[in-house]
Amino acid sequence: MMLSFLKPFLPKPRVRSLAALQQFLEDEAAYLAQRSVVDFVRNELGSLSAQAFADPRFQVKMTVSRWDGFAAILADMIGLAHAHLLAAGTPRAVLDTYFGDLYAAILARHSTPDHRLQGWDPDIAALRTRLATRPVGPVNPQADATVTGSMVFDTLPFIPRDPVESRMVLSNAFAFGLIAFNDRLRRLLVVARLGDELVASRP
What global pTM score does this model have? Answer: 0.92
The answer to whether 77 and 25 are in contact (CB under 8 A) is yes
Q: What pLDDT is attached to residue 197?
A: 95
pLDDT tens track for 3-39: 444 555 567 789 999 999 999 999 999 999 999 999 9
With the CA atoms of 23, 25, 31 and 37 taken in that order, what torsion angle do they form, in degrees rounded to the nearest 10? -140
